[in-house]
Structure 1
Amino acid sequence: MPPSIAVIAPGSMGSAIAARLVEHGCKVPTLLEGRSEATRRRAAAAGMTGASAAEIADADLILSIVPPGEAVALAEQLATVINRNSRKPLIVDCNAVNVETIRRIEDIVLSSGARLVDAAIIGLPPKPGTKGPAFYVSGDAASDIAVLGQLGLDLRLIEGPIGAASALKMSYAGINKGLTGLGAAMVLAATRAGAADALRDELALSLPHVQARLANALPDMLPKAYRWVAEMREIAGFLGEDHPAALIYEGFARLFEHIAADVQGQGTEAAQLVAFAERCKAKT
């Protein structure tokens, strides 16, 4: 019989992973109290069922998939409920947090009697007919969630302690999303100075792979920019506050915060980024 696997929360990644698990016969409870109607519809479409915190604590596995700024609070919420239970689930923290944060989460989880697996999700939410995303896991209990590999997830074990998977996530996201942030900053600056078309043409000539990447990455980033703010600060923390490169990621956090506010406001700079991306695609 497939295990009961709770997924918190039913965002775009969480609901897509839940749908994959449901396809393989799993029951997937989630927390819906206080969530929007759109979130409730997304959860229902994925086959997830609303549950109380106590019912979540009775699951075999709990996958925590929330914005990084909410990861510690969720661990504390779960630990409070699990403390009252004789049954102790295995919690898989799949959030984009730095090594210091995941170790803090480990302390919280262990205090409840539960165990923790450190996980890093790299790639887009799973779609029917696709294998991804990659689901890297580390920690002493990582081998105990091998069942996820039999339930449609691309599970990849890292031989390392709690923190190893999070370190991979921070490093990969620092490069991947950092390049998007760098491109967005320069495209906006070039646009303000009247050089956007010249920049596009030069990228097409000398860095066509960069132009192709920005054509997809810039518009894709816009609805996610608000989520990337905390992630950039986690990456800054991963580097260490005394490391000069941490300032780069604090700058990216402020950039994505600025872009997110523009998306929610007048949308002037968002339109400029979309226009640049569309002109890049028109040239290919």
Structure 2
Amino acid sequence: MIIGLLHPGAMGSAVGAQLVAAGHQCGWVPEGRGSATRRRAAEAGLTALTKLDELASCDVVVSVCPPAAALDVARQVARIGFTGCYVDANAISPRHSEGIAAVLDGATVVDGGIVGPPPRKPDTTRLYLSGPGDAVTRVHDLFRHTTLTPVVLPGPVGAASALKLAYATYNKVSIVLAAQAHALARQHGVDAQLRELAAATLPGTPFADPERLVSAGQRAWRWAPEMREIAETCRDAGLPADLLDAAEAFLTHWRQHKDDPDLTLDQLLGALTGVRGQAAQPDT
């Protein structure tokens, strides 16, 4: 099967590599992309396309991009007249998922939610799918023999996104809370004691092993918009969104560490000092 992938970031390239390993031709559009993206695409075995219009002939297009770009990417695909199966696998609200389905009214849209790290090992990452039954089955079969485990959900477009964001609410906000706790302990000189206490009471968590928090700092530029999507989803459901608004503002303190491979825990926690109660402004 011929599949288009937009765009091969850290997660997208790993998803593409699994499709290639399963025997599918997976194309992407290098135009406007940087050297890091080109390197990831080459390593994943993706086929470079000359222009976006070539995606119109693909059987399936998979979108894996930052949440803020998801709707714009869908509009670009709609403009080329794509009529195949479009899988939106981004961390967006159910309302935005429904909006993407409306934009791509000539295609069949499947809602996807990726939970876990880039899928390089079995049993680490799931792809939840919802939407029209035949299309969902088709996408499920694409990934059936890969390390990205497909899971079909009952329900329309929006159900997979809702599950993804509900999971991220706990998973990512708990990491933010762990960073806040370690930064506070550090400021009062009891960080070693907090590490020992956390290791004794909550072993195996980022709270007990704060070095694991570093990857959150590297990805904060993507996590902050995701918190915004969760906050929107909570408001749509009549739930308070204060915690998610705060998490978004918190993550903006780390935006200067975007994808920094040399980031240390000291730098991460140091970025939180001197704030004096004034919240950073969320990215817009």
Aligned to 2:15: 17
Aligned to 2:142: 148
Aligned to 2:274: none
TM-score normalised to structure 2 length: 0.85
Matches within 5 A, 1:203-282: 203-210=198-205, 214-215=209-210, 217-240=212-235, 245-261=240-256, 270-271=265-266, 273=268
**CA distance change for structure 1 residues 5 and 271 in 2, over 3 Å: closer, same or farther?**
same
Aligned to 1:121: 114
Q: What is the percentage of aligned positions where both structures have the same residue? A: 34
Q: Following the alignment from structure 2 to structure 1, what is the Cα–Cα distance between the partners of residues 131 and 73?
A: 20
Matches within 5 A, 1:41-190: 41-51=39-49, 52-82=51-81, 88-110=83-105, 113-127=106-120, 130-140=122-132, 141-152=135-146, 153-190=148-185
Shift of 1:198: 2.2
**CA distance change for structure 1 residues 59 and 132 in 2, over 3 Å: closer, same or farther?**
farther
Q: Given that residues 30 and 50 in structure 1 are in contact (C-alpha distance below 8 angstroms), is that contact kept between their aligned partners in structure 2?
A: yes
**CA distance change for structure 1 residues 209 and 6 in 2, over 3 Å: closer, same or farther?**
same
Question: Higher mean Cα deviation, 255-264 or 72-81?
Answer: 255-264
TM-score normalised to structure 1 length: 0.85
SS at match of 2:112: strand
Shift of 1:214: 4.1
Shift of 1:63: 0.4
1:78-132 deviation per Cα after TM superposition (whole angstroms, max 9, x unaligned): 11111xx6xx11100000001111111111111xx111000011111121x5244
Q: Which runs of 5+ in 2 are unaligned?
A: 271-284
Q: Given that residues 134 and 154 in structure 1 are in contact (C-alpha distance below 8 angstroms), is that contact kept between their aligned partners in structure 2?
A: yes
Q: Given that residues 195 and 209 in structure 2 are in contact (C-alpha distance below 8 angstroms), is that contact kept between their aligned partners in structure 1?
A: no
**CA distance change for structure 1 residues 163 and 234 in 2, over 3 Å: closer, same or farther?**
same
SS at match of 2:8: coil
SS at match of 2:87: strand
The residue type equivalent to 1:37 in the other structure is S
Q: Following the alignment from structure 1 to structure 2, what is the Cα–Cα distance between the partners of residues 271 and 121?
A: 30
**CA distance change for structure 1 residues 211 and 74 in 2, over 3 Å: closer, same or farther?**
closer
Q: Given that residues 187 and 273 in structure 1 are in contact (C-alpha distance below 8 angstroms), is that contact kept between their aligned partners in structure 2?
A: no
SS at match of 2:80: helix
Q: Given that residues 188 and 273 in structure 1 are in contact (C-alpha distance below 8 angstroms), is that contact kept between their aligned partners in structure 2?
A: no
Q: Which runs of 5+ in 1 are unaligned?
A: 276-284
Q: Following the alignment from structure 1 to structure 2, what is the Cα–Cα distance between the partners of residues 126 and 175?
A: 21
Shift of 1:146: 3.2
Aligned residues: 265
Q: Given that residues 13 and 44 in structure 2 are in contact (C-alpha distance below 8 angstroms), is that contact kept between their aligned partners in structure 1?
A: yes
Q: Given that residues 138 and 158 in structure 1 are in contact (C-alpha distance below 8 angstroms), is that contact kept between their aligned partners in structure 2?
A: yes
Shift of 1:217: 3.3
**CA distance change for structure 1 residues 210 and 123 in 2, over 3 Å: closer, same or farther?**
closer
SS at match of 1:119: strand
Q: Following the alignment from structure 1 to structure 2, what is the Cα–Cα distance between the partners of residues 64 and 9?
A: 7
Shift of 1:204: 2.5
1:190-228 deviation per Cα after TM superposition (whole angstroms, max 9, x unaligned): 212222122212223333344665435302212111110
